[in-house]
Amino acid sequence: MITKYNNMPIIRQEEIQQALSIASDQVLRNLPEFTYAFQNAFSEQGFYAPIENNHWTNGFWTGEIWLAYEFTKDPCFMEAAEIQINNFNDRIIRRISVDHHDMGFLYSPSCIAGYKLIGSLMGKKAGLLAADQLMSRYQPVGEFIQAWGSMGVPDNYRLIIDCLMNLPLLFWASEETGNMTYREVAEKHIKTTLANIIREDHSTWHTFYFDLTTGAPDHGATCQGYRDGSAWSRGQAWGIYGLALAYRYTRCEEYIEKFRHVSAYYLEHLPKDMVPFWDLEFTDGSDEVRDSSSASIAACGMLEMAKYLEKDEAQYYTQLANQIVKSLYDNYAVKDFATSNGLVLHSTYNRHSPFNTCPNAGVDECNSWGDYFYMEALTRLHKDWVLYW
Ligand code: GLY
């Protein structure tokens, strides 16, 4: 167990309430602009611009609205989220920008949340259509869900670590329909991912390729990390939360051990304030930018896994998550609405490096999933939360 953070402060219950209250106020302030429109994936100089429902990130904004509804019980949030569910239903029916694997990111915090919270039947219907779309990305040769690009082209015959977060949609679809095929595909994808994406030192590849003809594992590579062999901070956090969810839905003991290792690598590579730089290659003393969204995702994963562990270990991860959220609240959260219409500063979507394949986008800004997972982490610390995932 890692002891170097033992003296970091934890967030107190009144601070959690305060933080949720600030976040909900900000969401409320944003509703007039962002009910019939969505927030862009990232802010520019602290401010999100409106976009249509056509990016992989749109579900997070609706998820924030649902979390604000849960905290305040103000029906105006429910009404706005229902309008957005309508829009998500239209998106999947008209197949607008859905030729990729991010159906879980899109439909879990929006439509599945609406179904679970208020019994939205449109949410359920859209969620099942999204699950079918995700199933259509499954590659039996290799047994994985193809992340991006046209199906079966060699330069995209790969999975990415982020996809672990898309799988709860399939587990949910099996529960709702009684059709076990969704679950079987999710389980196969988890197995293939975990057999290949975690390196010997427990850092993780961002993406992993397979041979198109035989399905044999081929090689790991990055897109958004600093270099192929480094650990992209957000990818490692998707791994932490993805493993917790994989355990939740499969109860496969092996995943607990992997969770411990992947979390330990992450924690060992954090800077002093527990909020990582955009790649775990960088730490204290670096002038690189942070990715605060990674910290929120990791905190949510630790809080989820803590539910299934013995008391001492559960306490260990709960405390770490508490400390991370305290650091986010004290040093990263937006408190002056004149400076930003987001919730959490200093996140990074894509940082270009000489060794990766992504252009700069949303560098050192707010982003929609950073805001969402910060609210989710706070909500998890505030009450016994029923997952949207
Ligand atoms: N899932 C894409 C990202 O984390 O940027």
For all residues of the chain together, what is the average pLDDT? 98
- Separation of 362 CA from ligand 1 center, angstroms? 12
Whose tokens are 């990818």? That residue is: 235
User: How sure is the predictor about 365, in pLDDT bands with cuts at 50, 70 and 90?
Assistant: very high
CA–chain centroid gap for 302, Å, is: 13
- Asked if 341 contacts 32 with a C-beta cutoff of 8 angstroms, the reply is no
Q: What is d(CA 170, CA 45) in angstroms, rounded to the nearest whole number? A: 37
Cβ–Cβ under 8 Å, residues 269 and 283: yes
Residues 95-110 have a mean pLDDT of 98
pLDDT of residue 254: 98
**Cα–ligand 1 centroid distance for 224 (angstroms):** 8
- Ligand 1: atom nearest CA of 235 is 4
* Beta bridge pairs of residue 209: 158
- Is residue 169 within 8 A of residue 107, CB to CB? The reply is yes
- Mean pLDDT on 143-169: 97
CB atoms under 10 Å from CB of 54, counted, come to: 11
Asked whether 236 and 294 are in contact (CB, 8 A), the reply is yes
Ligand 1 atom nearest 102 alpha carbon: 1
Cα of 13 vs centre of ligand 1, distance in Å, is 30
**Banded pLDDT at 237 (limits 50, 70, 90):** very high
pLDDT in tens, 273-317: 999 999 999 999 999 999 999 999 999 999 999 999 999 999 999
Using most ligand atoms within 8 A of CB, pick from 105, 222, 234, 356 the residue to mutate for ligand 1. 234
pLDDT in the model for residue 330: 98
Closest CA to ligand 1's atom 2: 162
Average pLDDT over residues 184-213: 98
Torsion, Cα 229 233 235 239, to 10 degrees, reads 110
Cα pseudo-dihedral 274, 104, 380, 123, rounded to 10 = 150
Q: Which atom of ligand 1 is nearest to the CA of 160?
A: 1
Q: Which value, in Å, is the radius of gyration of the alpha carbons in the chain?
A: 19
Q: For residue range 54-93, what is the model confidence (pLDDT) as tens digits?
A: 999 999 999 999 999 999 999 999 999 999 999 999 999 9
pLDDT band at 128 (very low <50, low <70, confident <90, very high): very high
The count of C-alpha atoms lying within 13 angstroms of the C-alpha of 171, restricted to the half-sphere facing its C-beta, is 21
pLDDT tens by residue, 241-276: 999 999 999 999 999 999 999 999 999 999 999 999
CA of 17 to the centre of ligand 1 (A): 28
pLDDT given for residue 371 in this prediction? 99
Q: What is the pLDDT of residues 304-363, one digit of tens each?
A: 999 999 999 999 999 999 999 999 999 999 999 999 999 999 999 999 999 999 999 999
Q: How confident is the model at residue 383 (pLDDT cuts 50, 70, 90)?
A: very high
Alpha-carbon separation of residue 274 from 37, 68, 183, 293, 299 (angstroms): 34, 26, 35, 12, 10
Choose the residue to mutate in 148, 158, 233, 238 for probing ligand 1, maximizing ligand atoms within 8 Å of C-beta.
238
Any idea which residues carry the catalytic annotation? 102, 162
What is the per-residue pLDDT for 389? 98
Q: Give Dmax (Cα) for the chain.
A: 57
Distance (Å, whole) CA 70 – CA 64: 10
Q: How many whole angstroms from 184 Cα to the centroid of ligand 1? A: 24
